[in-house]
Structure 1
Amino acid sequence: MSANLTTDAIEAALAARLAKAKAKKPQRVGIPQRPADAAVVLSSAQRRLWFLHQLAPDSSAYTLPVAWRLRGALDGSRLRAAVVAVVESADALRTFYRATDGTPTAVLAEADALEWREFDGLEEFGSEVRRPFDLEQAAPFRASLFRVGADEHVLLLCVHHIAADGWSMGLIADRLGAVYGGAALVAGTQYADVAYWQQQRSSDGDLAYWREQLADSPRPVELPGDRSRPAHPSDAGAQYSFELDETLTTQLRALAASEQVSTFMCLVAAFQVLCARQAGLDDVIVAAPVSGRDAVPELRTVVGCLVETVLLRARNFSTSTGHELLQQVRNTVLEATEHAAAPFEEVAALLPYPAEGRPPYSVLFSATHVPRVDLSLAGVRTEPLTIEAPARKVDLTMEVADLGGPTISASITYSTELFDASTIERFAHQYLLLLEGLDSSTPVSRLPLLTPAEQTKLLAPRP
């Protein structure tokens, strides 16, 4: 899940800059319907995800799972019919991807191509979550219903990221509840319309920005691991969760307000500092997903992958204070957001090093403002289930969730082939210390990564 990088309560000044930048571009008056005789094309995001799928077709790293416990008199046939209706309403959920001479072609299937499975008990739940998609032979959406008791079930929906994003999962749940309750869905803008519309737009201006921004850029960050990188890495991963307590969250929001930056910018700045110091660099690139749903109002109702990846570069850690770094990050985030429409594969081609058969970045930072996905079914009590996603996409991904509460939650998904759990726990601890020190005149390269007590213990003479 991801949200616009600059969505925060203090965004007046930032929004003004974005509005000024957008005013220089041709006005977007809406998304026209794809001509009936036009082929279904892939968006930039779909092409990128299709390529990543080819690199690791047995991986579940790009599966978006969501599940609910259902208690009460559930009508299974009615639920299945409602799922079919949802698939019928969103072409992205029933698109196959056939390769022709190494190039993907989108093929729309009928809604009855839906894969629906039923199970007695939850023994197969984990394997269903991890089961990879075959994008060439099957739709990128499947549903599984697990009977736990006479009046208790678990519903699992899995969607490949090529067909949806975090926002889409909420749309799917809303539509499913509406149809189960007797409502009819009205077809609106389809993802195929969006992809066709994107294809017609020129990205020359955006690419010019990225060409300058990425000139002489460093190779992907290589964080020091506990083991060497295997020749053929898998998606084996684990997740570590932690939290910014109320004191730190309040301090961070106050710093953001005083510096006229977003909370996200503070959070990603500290992450960049930590990656730079761990890798011994003064110039790093961190990837970040940015939502593309703000361009045109109707995009907020489209099921599909409307997330682009941008590359956030930060430099001069050795001399920059936290305040100076925040201004650098502020400009970088705003400019990256302004130019996020550039197709990522064309942006990646501008990097001065080969892709080497893996993503052109090794660390990713994601901020979400999307709340949990709730499902409402008439006559049935529903409860969302937490599903950890241990399959990793890159070496290390940090995701933070700032939903406006007194604290900010965070998690790190990491490669278990490279890192031990204790290493990641220490990484999170050091990240929190850097956040505490951002509001300082000390260069970020000299901010402490140990508490005073830890320093004393480390320097104490050994018995």
Structure 2
Amino acid sequence: MNQPLKQLLAAELIPRIKAFLRERLPDYMLPRQYLWLDQLPLNASGKVLRSALPLPAAARRITESTYQPPRTPLEQQLCGLYTELLGIERVGVLDSFFDLGGHSLLAIQLLARIQPLVKQTVPLKTLFEAPTVAELAARLGTEPASALPFGLGKMSGMPPLKLRPAPPGQLQKLSYSQALWWTIFPTPAELAHGIQNSYAGIRLQGHPDPDALEAAIQAIIQRHEALRTRFASLNRRPRRVIDQAIAFALPRYDFAGQSEDAAIAALEAAAQAPFDLEAGPLIRAALYRLRPDLHLLMLSVSHLVFDGWSLKQFLAELQPLYLAQTQPGYVAQLPELPIQYSDYVYWHRKWIKQSVIRHQLLYWLRLGKDMPVVLDLPTDKPRPTHLTLAGSSVSFSLPAGLVRDLQSLAQRQDATLYMLMLAAFQVLLSRYSGQADIFVGTPVANRPVRELDAVMGLFVNFIVLRGNLAGQPRFVDFLEQLRQTCLDAYAHQDLPFQILFKSFRAYKTLTSWQRFATQKTMRSNVMFNLIDDVGADFQLGELQASLLPLENRFASQAMHLILLKQNQGIQGQLNFSADLFHRETIESLCQQYLSLLNQILAHPEQTVGPKPG
């Protein structure tokens, strides 16, 4: 190509090339990168010398070499939002949100920021179809709000989210997320069980100041009412009680001369110990000293007032508050919280009653029609009439190179890494069970507006993702099917799962959902989750801080695959019910999952599904 066409190449020709290739190639063969070459390397015969072509990893991407700045106010705002959420210095209008490292959770956060700017609902599907700033700005500028389906954070009918101070000690209704826990775990012993704890262990290398840590944690507790919450009963119905202040102390334990494994075992036992839900407090922490320059910090909070997003926010606030205690003159710059958890509960219940149920309930009822009640996995032990919470976990690792290749494959299919890893997991479950109709549950953040980003509490909701592997589809075709399933589910994720329980009486013919959504079957099924490293950017002043891999000794489902992005790789943990499986079986499944991922990379067009016979 002639040099004057270089700018035209980036701005106009690449979309034309993509459209041309889509008409002639299957999706998995479409190129994801376009490289600028001044000329093609030729051999003496005038043929292209392929061995001299630059490798994509060693070459600059065309969007980097031909950076296109924003041209309109909307493009400028979108570039700013991409930069903020993705943590990069510069974004051009030709850069794709997903190519730059975006994923479904970040995409939801992005849309929560975009919707107030454009004053219309923006479905997640729109971002997948128009991932670059230029494409998204064009879609937002031309698509009328009335043409957009109901989805995350609907602008019309959403009441204002305002501060409504809750009197200390007053009994208040649970959130829908909290009420779900009382449905799945109906006994006090199960609700207070250690499986309900959200916890973390942090290795601190250096010389921490225990008093400063204690003061910093106390400040976080005072800042967030969720951490000052306990529970009471009103006419046999659970209610929240918010204390104005709670006494917090950071116990210190000396493990000098003992192994780190011994300290970790003590930390795990303390982290998974039950809480007294009525007496409170529902947060504890402890510091374990191995050497003057090596400590372990334990944090444990009842899941009834805390979730994974809250843990990341907790660590983000602990950094400046600790520095404010240890560095003279340092002032923690934490923005004032616009709302508290009680404000969210009031707002959310009002919003749900107004609009979400009638828009989203039918979707989930239709999805559940004829769905198997339980994923019939072969078990090592007879299924008991009542599953206990006894469990264990098997850990495994995916190296950075493998994760990078999987990410690249997902991008070529216009999917996310989450979708690809879930698709592979469903293929594994299909082959293991012999079933073609595979469904798993997965948590979603359930923070539809930006005001909720910095608020701690239990917000998480659950959705069911159903895959159909009948007819031995190619993996790339199944991934496309699951991609569409995920996008549809995300568009209807606002409906609290708790509400489905109350809706079954009016839909008696849809017996699959009725039987599925019971305490027994909910705890007999399978969960999947892929999460970012919550401690990726965590540090405490001059201390070197890193999260400890902790073993889960309990299980609330038959299986739960948790994939944690960490250091460019993935740390996997497959939790399992000890009532159903032997450890050797789960270890074998983990190895099969790793093998399957490598097979998919080598042959993404291979057929998948339950093995015949």
Same fold per superposition (TM over 0.5): yes
TM-score bucket of the superposed structures, by smaller chain: 0.7 to 0.9
Amino acid of the structure 1 residue aligned with 2:529: S
**1:69 and 1:251 mapped to 2: Cα distance?**
31
Residues 117-146 of structure 1: CA deviation (Å, up to 9, x unaligned): 343434743321221122222122112233
CA displacement 1:265-291 (0-9 Å, x = unmatched): 111112122223322222222001112
Larger displacement relative to structure 2 (416-425 or 73-82)? 73-82
- Residue 113 of structure 2: aligned partner: none
Match of 1:106 among 224, 240, 256: 240
> Within 2, Cα distance between the matches of 1:101 and 1:354?
29
* Higher relative helix content: 2
- 1:139–1:358: structure 2 CA closer, same or farther, 3 Å change rule? farther
Aligned to 2:577: 415
8 A Cα contact 2:532 2:565, kept in partner: yes
Name the larger-Rg structure.
Answer: 2
Aligned with residue 221 of structure 1, among 372, 375, 381: 375
Corresponding residue SS for 1:444:
coil
* Structure 2 residues not aligned, in runs of 5+: 1-101, 111-124, 256-262, 325-330, 505-512
Task: Tell me the residue number matched to 1:307.
Answer: 460
Q: Which region of structure 1 is more displaced relative to structure 2, 71-80 or 161-170?
A: 71-80
Query: Residue 396 of structure 2 is aligned with which of 242, 245, 255?
Result: 242
Following the alignment from structure 1 to structure 2, what is the Cα–Cα distance between the partners of residues 368 and 23?
20
Unaligned 5+ segments in structure 1 are 449-463
Aligned-partner Cα distance in 2 for 1:90–1:282: 46
| Cα contact 2:390–2:578 (8 A) shared by 1 | yes
| Shift in alpha-carbon separation, 1:376–1:431, aligned structure 2, 3 A | closer
How far apart, CA to CA, are the structure 2 residues paired with 1:91 and 1:181? Answer: 23
In 2, Cα distance between the equivalents of 1:381 and 1:265? 33
| Residues 1:262 and 2:262 are matched in the alignment | no
Do 1:6 and 1:262's aligned partners in 2 also have CA atoms closer than 8 Å? Answer: no
TM-score by length of 2: 0.65
Residues 1:31 and 2:161 aligned together: yes
Paired with 2:545 and 2:426, the residues of 1 have a C-alpha distance of 40
Verify: 1:89 aligned to 2:89, yes or no: no
* 1:46 and 2:171 correspond: no
SS at match of 2:596: helix
User: Do the aligned partners of 2:441 and 2:464 also contact (CA within 8 Å) in 1?
Assistant: yes
Does structure 1 residue 13 correspond to structure 2 residue 143? no
Q: Is the 8 A contact 2:193 2:274 kept in 1?
A: yes
Instruction: Tell me how far apart the structure 2 counterparts of residues 307 and 29 of structure 1 sit (CA, whole Å).
Output: 20
Deviations 1:377-431, CA, capped at 9 Å, x for gaps: 44655444332223222111111234682x4332211122322222112212222
Report which stretch shifted further, 234-243 or 47-56: 47-56
- Determine which of 345, 348, 359 is the counterpart of 1:195: 345
Distance in 1, matches of 2:174 and 2:543, equals 38
Distance, in Å, in 2 between the alignment partners of 1:175 and 1:290 is 23
Verify the 8 A CA contact 2:474 2:606 in the aligned structure 1.
yes
Name 2:609's counterpart in structure 1: 445
User: CA 1:444 to 1:73, structure 2 compared with 1: closer, same or farther past 3 Å?
Assistant: closer
Deviation at 1:158, TM superposition (A): 0.4
Over aligned residue pairs, what C-alpha RMSD do you find? 3.4
Give TM-score scaled by structure 1 length: 0.84
**Share of identical aligned residues, percent?**
29
Check the 8 A contact 1:181/1:377 in 2, yes or no.
yes
SS of structure 2 residue aligned to 1:79: helix
| Bigger RCO (CA 8 Å, 6+ sep) | 1
The 1:328–1:199 alpha-carbon spacing in structure 2 relative to 1, beyond 3 Å, is same
Q: Counterpart in 2 of 1:451?
A: none
Seen in structure 2, the aligned counterparts of structure 1 residues 206 and 76 have a Cα distance that, compared at 3 Å, is same
Q: Distance in 1 between matches of 2:152 and 2:441?
A: 27
* 391-400 or 42-51, larger mean C-alpha shift: 42-51
CA contact (8 A) 2:436 2:609 kept: no
Partner AA of 1:238 in structure 2? S
Residue of structure 2 equivalent to 1:291: 445
Q: How many pairs were matched up?
A: 445
User: Which structure's residues are more often strand, by fraction?
Assistant: 1
Kindly report which structure 2 residues correspond to 1:239-388, keeping only aligned pairs within 5 A, or say none: 239-245=393-399, 248-293=402-447, 295-348=448-501, 350=504, 351-353=513-515, 355-358=517-520, 360=522, 362-372=525-535, 375-378=538-541, 380=543, 382-388=545-551
SS in structure 2 opposite 1:229?
A: coil
